[in-house]
Amino acid sequence: MVTTTPQFSINPHLPFGDQRTAPWYGKDILSVKQFSRSDLEYIFAVAHEMMVMVERVGTFDLLKGKILANLFYEPSTRTSSSFTSAMERLGGSVIPINEVRYSSVSKGESLPDTVRTLECYADVIVLRHPETGSAAQAAQYARKPIINAGDGIGEHPTQALLDIFTIREELGAIDGLTITMLGDLKYGRTVHSLARLLSLYNVRLNYVAPEVLRMPEEIIAELPRTLPQAQYPNFDQVIGQTDVLYVTRVQKERFESEAAYESVKGTYVISKETLKQAKDKMIVMHPLPRVGEISMDVDDDPRAAYFRQMEYGLYVRMALLAMVLGKA
């Protein structure tokens, strides 16, 4: 039986050897505001090639010898594990700090000092922190690339990138779609980043939320005036026109009191019955975790894309790691 070695050179976006002149080499990923539409097309082309490579060979040594530091000041399942998987599938290694209470942070060490320490051991740092602007602060002190994995209620750029990649892979295109965001739009950093990125396309944005969790006016005002945006109190008003339903949980940890949280928890629940009013060709997305806002009986509906969405995230994060480390 003749075996052949996969010919990685046929992938136009994955050159071997350090590419210090590559456009994203050494750059931070802090905000969706730093991306143009052409940047997104490049990222998604690399991500698609990563998807093909994983399906073909599982792992490959594009980032062999490189080390990622995962620095998480807040709990994470998907973002932390997907960055770990992304680095390891590319042949690199990971320093996991997912419980900062067991690090010198518990002794009062500052974020700048922690970042400057970790960059002595790692080539790239993925940071999640509860304070808005923390990733930008870390980048001011770091010599190595910082990737923002969520800064308080600010942004979550890699989530927004994987969300648009999901829409692209599932529906084939983004222009012309109606995207409805539902749930906690006030504190939801994922929807803030996603709305900003979607403004690069010809789409319509619907916002459905309780009065106290509406999309912030500053986000709406920031987006182009030519972008159709509308706020609704009831999902029934827009379900029939929706191509992408992006559901978010009401985030208990962002509320000042239990009573305030309980007053809006469970306002919207997507069920099989709900989706009877939806298009046959549409998708339901969620950044997860969910806490009851999508019934589990929806999971078997082919329009439920949220678990596929998580897998697409792996490929996007593989692409970003390769890009900032000069391998794409």
**Number of Cα atoms under 13 Å in the Cβ half of residue 282:** 21
In degrees and rounded to multiples of 5, residue 152 shows phi and psi of 60, -130
pLDDT in the model for residue 18: 63
Cα 256 to Cα 124, 252, 259: the distances in Å are 35, 9, 9
When mean pLDDT is compared across 215-229, 242-256, 265-279, 288-302, the lowest value belongs to 242-256
Give pLDDT tens digits for 209-260: 988 889 999 999 999 999 999 999 889 999 999 999 999 987 655 555 666 6
For the whole model, what pTM was predicted?
0.89
List, as own/partner pairs, every contact residues 132-140 make where C-beta atoms lie below 8 angstroms and the sequence separation is at least 24, other chains included. Answer: 135/28, 135/30, 136/30, 136/31, 137/111, 137/112, 138/111, 138/112, 139/28, 139/30, 140/112
Q: How many other CB atoms are found less than 10 A from the CB of residue 108?
A: 7
Percent over 90 (pLDDT), the chain: 75
Give the model's pLDDT for residue 15: 57
| CATH superfamily placement of domain 157-310 | Aspartate/ornithine carbamoyltransferase (3.40.50.1370)
The CATH number of 8-155+313-324, from 3.40.50.1370, 3.20.20.120, 3.40.50.800, 1.25.40.10, is: 3.40.50.1370
* 72 vs 261: which has the higher pLDDT: 72
% of the chain with per-residue pLDDT over 70: 87
Which residues partner with 255 through β-bridges? none
The residues, any chain, with a CB within 8 Å of residue 57's CB and separated by 6 or more, are 6
